[in-house]
Amino acid sequence: MNTLQHAAELIAGAQRLVVFTGAGMSAESGVPTFRDALTGLWARYDAQALATPEAFQRDPALVWGWYEWRRELVERVDPNPGHEAVARLDCTLITQNVDQLHERAGSEDVLHLHGSLFEPRCSVCAQPAPPPPGAAGSGDGPRTPPACGNCGSPVRPGVVWFGEALPVDVLERAVEAAAAADVLITVGTAGVVYPAAEIPQVTARLGGSVIQVNPQATPLDEVCALNLRGTAAEVLPKIIR
Ligand code: BV8
Ligand code: ZN
């Protein structure tokens, strides 16, 4: 039996299935991963440098503009066949991605470990702010963040920045699901950002089978029962019936 067939068998026979996704899941929809060189104005910025509270403190307009550019980009693209295959599964879906492509493909109750581009909130009182109006033009330039309706402070993107804690309830649900899983599929993640990268390792440590879908090798290779060297949109429809 080849590895694709073996993976399909494991998935079809899973009692408690978890799917764990990273930026590579959305790559074939046209969303740059963190390791791709970003295009346009943002090419000279390092995502890791902008995805921090310090960057927002230092230059709220630049950081807000970068997230608005990313939000408008994900609004313009579509879920790919990988998202659609995952949406057919009865599973716990845990994502590091801040786009809403899993939801648009039909997945429900998606656990967003790193927040979402679509849940801006006040940077001081945390009051949720209305998502900004659709794509405010294709301008790439920095734009001043809106002011909170409650306290007037700058609104921030509803994502988890480097150095910030992940939402406790979401992380707890994710770790519980990974611990109980007999099969976990990890797709399109470099497996270097913690604590998210712990999730597939929890399943493996407790005896579950981890299947990895990624064109490249990653540090997660060694905990995986199967490493499928391919892309999300190509491989997932072949292993998910
Ligand atoms: C925290 C939201 C503590 C924002 C993101 C030193 C050692 C270890 C850890 C640390 C360290 N120094 C600091 C840390 C902690 C740090 C961390 O892990 N840093 C890393 C870089 C070393 N973690 C944190 O800061 C976390 N918080 O620790 O807080 C704390 C605790 C209590 C109280 C206070 C504080 C917060 C981390 C969350 C950061 N936010 N996103 C935004 O989106 O802008 S992370 C962000 O980067 C993404 O969400 C994503 O998770 C991550 C990128 O990772 P990937 O998803 O893996 O994507 P990447 O581009 O890296 O790789 C793509 C993969 O896909 C590749 O493997 C590629 O081969 C593959 N691929 C490409 N195309 C395809 C494909 N696969 C399939 N199909 C394709 N077509
Ligand atoms: Zn406020």
Mutating to test ligand 1, I would choose from 21, 34, 73 the residue with most ligand atoms within 8 A of its C-beta, which is 34
In 3D space, the residue among 189, 232, 184 whose CA is nearest the CA of residue 34 turns out to be 189
**According to the model, what pLDDT value does residue 49 have?**
83
ipTM: 0.95
Q: CATH classification of 1-31+78-118+166-241 is 3.40.50.1220, yes or no?
A: yes
Average pLDDT over residues 82-87: 98
Average pLDDT over residues 116-123: 96
For domain 32-76+121-156, give the CATH superfamily.
Answer: SIR2/SIRT2 'Small Domain' (3.30.1600.10)
Q: Is pLDDT of 136 > 80?
A: no
Mean pLDDT of the chain: 92
**Ligand 1 atom 36: the closest Cα is on which residue?**
162
Q: How confident is the model at residue 138 (pLDDT cuts 50, 70, 90)?
A: low
Contact 202, 1 (CB under 8 A): no
- Annotation-wise, does 125 bind a ligand? yes
Q: How confident is the model at residue 140 (pLDDT cuts 50, 70, 90)?
A: low
Q: pLDDT tens digits for 4-24? A: 999 999 999 999 999 999 999
For the question of residue 114 being annotated catalytic, the response is yes
Tell me the torsion sign for CA atoms 179, 183, 13, 187.
positive
Query: How many Å lie between the centroid of ligand 2 and the Cα of residue 129?
Result: 9
Query: How many Å lie between the centroid of ligand 1 and the Cα of residue 12?
Result: 29
Q: Strand pairing partners for 60?
A: none
Q: Is pLDDT of 87 > 60?
A: yes
Q: How confident is the model at residue 168 (pLDDT cuts 50, 70, 90)?
A: very high
Q: Is pLDDT of 26 > 80?
A: yes
**According to the model, what pLDDT value does residue 134 have?**
58
Sequence spans of domains, the chain? 1-31+78-118+166-241, 32-76+121-156
Q: pLDDT tens digits for 41-72? A: 566 677 778 999 999 999 999 999 989 988 99
How far, CA to CA in Å, does 205 sit from each of 102, 118, 224? 27, 34, 11
- Annotation-wise, does 224 bind a ligand? no
Q: Is pLDDT of 39 > 80?
A: no
- Annotation-wise, does 43 bind a ligand? no
Q: pLDDT tens digits for 126-135? A: 999 987 765 5
Q: How confident is the model at residue 174 (pLDDT cuts 50, 70, 90)?
A: very high
